[in-house]
């Protein structure tokens, strides 16, 4: 049973994820059937971090569901000038029907959810990116038909995307392998939670420093930028530390013969992935980006369509 908010895939049960994917598939196939689903509803979108895909997909999604979205940057609202998160959450709860927040600190989204009386959706924090992770697994389900027994290999920085993929695997019946350079491992608490989830679900979680071990036999090879937003000052150091960690055709060749390549975008060709992989025949990055729209519409309809 869905909670009030969507903060982490870790909070969801496997049937919740299945229900979301079923709804998203219906919305993708028959968008006209859902044009009045959120008629008259308003989503406030708080952005501390800029975005192409998050802003456009949520705004378009609300419009396609018959509602409206309001873009609120840190410069536009008092949250950026020191107003307590609790006040922002309580006031917005009097004006709108839902909040999507894309923030730096994960605690900001937790506080919004704690004080808001309306649904809060985590559009991204430094810790987690649940909407991206759900869209990724939905894309896998489209490409392979069934998720159970598949393997996803993530190669790169142990960041918010890696965390959400780790949480998503057990909910979808997917084995997950994460390979990072030493010093760039995923958060220890996330690893512990994801391992417990995997043990309960009968899936596996591997965290390693070997790209080859992670990718061997994988059905999805996934990577992300080496320096996420807010880490620009570390860019040069990370380029040095990640030398040799580019996802190339040779690395992809170690995966299952049906394997596809995924990236949450934006992609830096020549850094975390070669152009030949990113733009090659096994890349599904644009299908993956499109599916943010459909999965997020399912999330919004599920959370905001209750009242």
Q: pLDDT by residue (tens digit) across 63-93? A: 999 999 999 987 777 775 678 999 999 999 9
**Nearest-5° angle of CA 180, CA 285, CA 238?**
30
Same domain, 189 and 72: no
Give me the pLDDT at residue 47, please.
Answer: 95
Look at the chain and report how many structural domains it folds into.
Answer: 2
- Give every CB contact of residue 260 below 8 A, 6+ residues apart in sequence: 143, 219, 220, 221, 282, 283, 284
Give me the pLDDT at residue 15, please.
Answer: 97
Give me the pLDDT at residue 80, please.
Answer: 58
> Could you report the per-residue pLDDT of 259-274, keeping only the tens digit for each?
999 999 999 999 999 9
Same domain, 139 and 271: yes
What is the rounded distance in angstroms from the CA atom of residue 170 to the CA atom of residue 295? 18
Same domain, 155 and 275: yes
Residues (pLDDT < 50) of the chain are none
For residue 22 the two structure tokens come to 């079923």
Give me the pLDDT at residue 235, please.
Answer: 83
Same domain, 159 and 114: no
What is the rounded distance in angstroms from the CA atom of residue 97 to the CA atom of residue 119? 7
Q: Decide if 40 is inside a domain.
A: yes
What is the rounded distance in angstroms from the CA atom of residue 177 to the CA atom of residue 278? 20
Catalytic residues: 102, 129, 132, 224, 264, 292
Same domain, 193 and 235: yes
Q: Decide if 298 is inside a domain.
A: yes
């Amino acid at each position: 049973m869905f909670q009030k908010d969507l903060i982490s895939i870790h909070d969801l049960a496997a049937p919740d994820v299945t229900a979301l994917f079923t709804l998203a598939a219906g919305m993708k196939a028959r968008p006209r059937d859902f044009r009045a689903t959120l008629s008259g509803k308003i989503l406030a979108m708080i952005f501390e971090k800029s975005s192409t895909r998050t802003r456009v997909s949520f705004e378009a999604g609300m419009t396609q569901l018959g509602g409206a979205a309001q873009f609120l940057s840190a410069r536009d609202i008092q949250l950026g000038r020191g107003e307590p998160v609790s006040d922002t959450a309580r006031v917005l709860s009097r004006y709108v029907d839902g909040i999507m927040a894309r923030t730096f600190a994960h605690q900001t989204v937790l506080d919004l959810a704690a004080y808001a009386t309306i649904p809060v959706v985590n559009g991204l924090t430094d810790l987690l990116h649940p909407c991206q992770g759900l869209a990724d697994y939905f894309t896998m389900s489209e490409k392979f038909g069934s998720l159970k027994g598949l393997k996803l290999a993530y190669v790169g920085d142990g960041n918010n995307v890696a965390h959400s993929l780790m949480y998503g695997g057990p909910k979808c019946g997917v084995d997950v392998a994460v390979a990072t350079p030493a010093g760039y491992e995923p958060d220890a608490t996330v690893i512990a939670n994801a391992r417990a989830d995997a043990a309960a679900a009968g899936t596996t979680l591997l965290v390693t420093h070997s790209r080859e071990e992670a990718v061997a036999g994988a059905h999805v090879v996934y990577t992300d930028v080496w320096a996420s937003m807010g880490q620009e000052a570390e860019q040069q150091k990370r380029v040095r530390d990640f030398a040799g960690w580019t996802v190339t055709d040779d690395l992809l060749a170690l995966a299952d013969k049906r394997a596809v390549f995924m990236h949450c975008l934006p992609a830096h060709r020549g850094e975390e992935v070669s152009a030949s992989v990113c733009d090659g025949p096994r890349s599904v990055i644009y299908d993956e980006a499109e599916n943010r729209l459909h999965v997020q519409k399912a999330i919004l309809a599920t959370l905001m369509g209750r009242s």
